[in-house]
Chain A
Amino acid sequence: MTATAHLTLDDVEEFGRELDKIREEVLADLGDRDARYIRDVIAVQRRLEVGGRVMLLASWLPPAWLAGTAALATAKILENMEIGHNVLHGQWDWMRDPKIHSTTWEWDIVCPADLWKHSHNFVHHTWTNVLGKDRDIGYSAMRITPEQDWRPIYLAQPFYNVLLALFFEYGIAIYDLELERVPSGEKTPADVLAQLGVVARKVRRQVVKDYVAFPLLAGPAFLPALLANLTANLARNVWAHTIIFCGHFPAGAEFFTEDRLDGETRGEWYVRQLLGSCNIDGGRLFHIMSGNLGHQIEHHLFPDLPSNRYAEIAPRVRALCDRYGLAYTSDSLARQVGSVWKRVLRLALP
């Protein structure tokens, strides 16, 4: 591994210990300020959602449609990214509030929380960027690194990446069923059917809410209200897809082979998380709207630290990486998106 060739084993462990120290410090300091933060975000999100839905009752008026759709899309983005994703990581479990807890939270997206927690929290966060282990590399559907063998289907990947962006929530739900593990026998068809039932029930509730119940409430504005819900869901899908693809696929992100996992130490685990993740530069509002995944590196080093702390520790993590001569990849959203698409297009070809 060239990126770490200059470091001795002791250096790597020392690097890990320094990161452990940052983590301990944050954990010891959690308190009222953090609790207030997540409760405020939740209150703002719910008010935005209610406000947006009320405006959409009059969505035959173009300004009401626009404002209502914007509010609803913002609410859905906040709910999925800064609230749902982070609550489901257990970032707020320390508060012992059963209403804001990883074991009880269900989010406003068709993918059921339990299914996602397994494939994301466990599989992806443990095996980050290890080929053959981390299913998030190309989401088992795309070629994102030259180490993946080329197949003709990949010629179509720029096209289906656009489709995936538009219908991202359904993509995640299907992805979490791990269909590709059925032929090998790692997963039985019965397991998949059972999980499919769970997904179907969630999809039904989500679809009835967004495309039947609220449009019906809008009465004569049924159609504009339905289109508003569709637009909000699509906007959320595209935004989430954009942010998430920038987390591990821009230039600079490294991929690893399975032999790297043999006897991997805590320090080496940290280094892999760092080298496999990319940050996005942005202001406070950008980071909140992206679930603080612009701090993807900090999130992967400390997946269960509250997201409001990532911005605070980022300068320390960066300084630490500088000190150890380790790459800390960060760039603007436009550049990272460009970099991801370059990969998707280039690797579609052999």
Chain B
Amino acid sequence: MTVMLPWVLRPLAEAGRWLSTPLSPEDYLSLLDPLWPAGELRGRVEGVHPETADATTLVIRPGRGWRAHLPGQWVRIGVDIEGRRHWRTYSLSSPPHRPDGRITITVKATPGGFVSRHLARSITPGTIVRLAGPDGVFVVPEPTPPRLLFLTAGSGITPVMAMLGSLLSEEIAADAGHRPPDVVLIHSAPTPQEVIFGDRLRRLAARSPYLRLHERHTRSAGRLRPADLAGLCPDWTQRAVWACGPPGMLDELAAQWPGPARRLRIERFTESLLPAASAAGAAGGRVRFTTTGRETDADGATPLLTVGENAGVLMPSGCRMGICHTCVAPLRSGRVRDLRSGLVHGDAGDLIQTCVSAAAGPLELEL
């Protein structure tokens, strides 16, 4: 626990630890208030609001120890499904410092997405979840650039929603003479009904002269290409750009962006892994977890994160797709295969992303 305590409370906390040994005072206080433990940050789901047919906003009251996020950052959420804890990373869709102190994430159920389907369809108000973060660098810097362009698709709107909320509330506060930023949002979704936050975005755009919204309905108009951008936003290369959406769109944009790299900020929700088939033939090896003393055999295609979880090791994990670096662990010996590139790498002491690395021969991890 890193919470600073006033000097009077410190002896009291120490006494509490002696009285509650071998547990901690938090273990008992959480019986009264499940949101109490700051050592294991928690949140309570207090609202479940459907946004589209397959996307749902969860309103969460964070427990003691939560620090306010910056618009655009993500939170890790740990949820128990069928008795097992699963951690996933979601962008916060709420602006920071909501008057009610709550935060929101907006989850789109993806086909085959075990956790996203649970969060979007089955979770009920009152559920206690674990939280970690917030974190992430997909944020609007200070001072705010005068001209901004947001390029989003699908659930990629969620971090941008938090930014818009914050930018527009600044707009209200800008009466004192600040020049409000000029914001363009180009958002893609298959149909008007499938635009997450569709109504709110349209209302915002109708109300605010500083926000221009362009919706691209891809089922009728086709996918947005970088070449289309000049027509929709002629000064797009002059703007500071934030892009969030499917990997194909982001790769294309990154390849064709003509402006300076620092002005294009990209947030990825998914990372394309090697198809299982191409890694399936690769040899694995014996994996030893040195801290816990557990050992198991791993093939060359299964992420070490899964290997460890199946062996009963408490593996730290987050996005499970190579983005958030929550799962990193020091390699003691051996080498690993990066499941995204197929590259075999690793020296003793390297920090390995266990969610996108498989065993390339016998190895030891400090976990």
Contacts and interface: CB of A to CB of B under 8 A. Distances in A.
Interface of A: 30-35, 43, 46-47, 50, 90, 93-99, 101-104, 106-108, 202, 205-206, 208-209, 213-214, 217
Interface of B: 15, 18-19, 21-23, 27-28, 31, 40, 80, 82-86, 291-292, 309, 312-315
Contact of A46 (B27, B83, B291): B27
Contact of A208 (B18, B27, B312): B18
Contacts of A47: 31
Nearest to B85: A96
A46 B314 contact: no
Among B31, B83, B85, chain A packs the most CB atoms within 10 A around the CB of B83
Contact of A35 (B15, B19, B80): B80
A94 B82 CA distance: 11
A134 B344 CA distance: 44
Nearest to A49: B28
Contacts of A217: 19
Given A96-B314, A209-B21, A34 B40 contact: no
A31 B22 contact: no
Nearest to A102: B312
The 5 A-B residue pairs with the shortest CB-CB distance, nearest first, are A35-B83, A106-B22, A93-B312, A96-B85, A31-B82
A32 B22 CA distance: 27
A32 B83 contact: yes
B367 to A, nearest CB: 10
B314 A99 contact: no
A213 B18 contact: yes
A95 B22 contact: no
Given A43-B31, A208-B18, A209-B19, 4 more contacts: A35-B80, A95-B83, A108-B22, A213-B18
Nearest to B32: A50
Contacts of A97: 80, 85
A96 B31 contact: no
B24 to A, nearest CB: 10
Given A103-B292, A209-B18, A213-B19, A90 B312 contact: yes
Contacts of A32: 80, 82-83
Contacts of B315: 96
22 contacts: A31-B82, A32-B80, A34-B83, A35-B80, A35-B83, A46-B31, A95-B84, A96-B86, A99-B40, A101-B314, A103-B314, A104-B314, A106-B22, A106-B23, A205-B18, A205-B21, A208-B18, A209-B18, A209-B21, A213-B18, A213-B19, A217-B19
A107 to B, nearest CB: 6
A209 B22 CA distance: 10
A94 B19 contact: no
Given A47-B31, A90-B312, A96-B314, A206 B84 contact: no
A33 B80 CA distance: 12
Nearest to B27: A46
A49 to B, nearest CB: 8
B314 A98 contact: yes
Given A46-B31, A101-B314, A104-B314, A31 B83 contact: yes
B284 to A, nearest CB: 22
A246 B310 CA distance: 34
B309 A96 contact: yes
Contacts of B292: 103
Contacts of A208: 18
A292 B284 CA distance: 39
A192 B220 CA distance: 76
A108 B24 CA distance: 12
Contacts of A33: 83
A312 B313 CA distance: 27
B41 to A, nearest CB: 12
A150 B85 CA distance: 53
A196 to B, nearest CB: 18
Nearest to A103: B292
